[in-house]
Amino acid sequence: MTMSTTAPMRGASRGVAMRGGARRCASSAVRSGAAKRAGGVLARAGLREVDEASFDAEVLGSTTPVLVDFWASWCGPCKLIGKIVEKADVEYGDALKVVKIECDGNPALVEKYKVYGLPTLIMFKDGVCVEESKNEGAISYDKLKVWVTQHAGIAAPAK
């Protein structure tokens, strides 16, 4: 029996795995845009992944505040806050747009917004990055609600 040499090498380097189309998203809702069950409630399908090509229209052109989650599939803390970001998307509804940007595939955005650590959350409002809104590292949902109120001016959803 011989081994195929045409099969892609998974895990050889994170750049190869990411650019080779083997990207893993934090959830199936991000991948497909389809609604899913979250805590017994049907989640809305608003959480989406944007890239350098769609960033201006999806983020800078948005009429509502936008929470941008810079993440990577190989980042453990990114996976931890993935569910928190999804929860915020559902609970804030149409008051807040939540998007994810995969860092390995979007180096120009990483450089432009000086994303040095992952995960990084940045709030955008009225087409610009909200000053002092960058949050690097994992964050609890309670702290995220305070952060959203502080940087987007949106009251936390009722429990």
Position 142, amino acid: D
Catalytic residue among 25, 78, 103, 129: 78
Q: What is the number of other CB atoms lying within 10 angstroms of the CB of residue 35? A: 13
pTM greater than the 0.75 cutoff: no
Question: Is 60 exceeded by the pLDDT of residue 29?
Answer: no
78 noted as active-site residue:
yes
75 noted as active-site residue:
yes
| Dist. CA 80–CA 72, nearest whole Å | 12
Question: Is 60 exceeded by the pLDDT of residue 112?
Answer: yes
Judging by beta carbons within 10 Å of its beta carbon (0-12, 13-18, 19+), is residue 67 exposed, middle or buried? buried
Confidence of residue 157 (pLDDT cuts 50, 70, 90): confident
Instruction: Say which residue, 119 or 29, is predicted with more confidence.
Output: 119
pLDDT at 117: 97
| Dist. CA 124–CA 122, nearest whole Å | 7
| Dist. CA 90–CA 92, nearest whole Å | 6
Structural domains for the chain = 47-152 (3.40.30.10)
Average pLDDT, stretch 17-41? 34
Token pair for residue 87?
């929860």
pLDDT at 44: 46
Average pLDDT, stretch 51-64? 98
Question: Is 60 exceeded by the pLDDT of residue 43?
Answer: no
Confidence of residue 62 (pLDDT cuts 50, 70, 90): very high
pLDDT above 70 covers a percentage of the chain that reads 70
pLDDT at 46: 55
Confidence of residue 116 (pLDDT cuts 50, 70, 90): very high
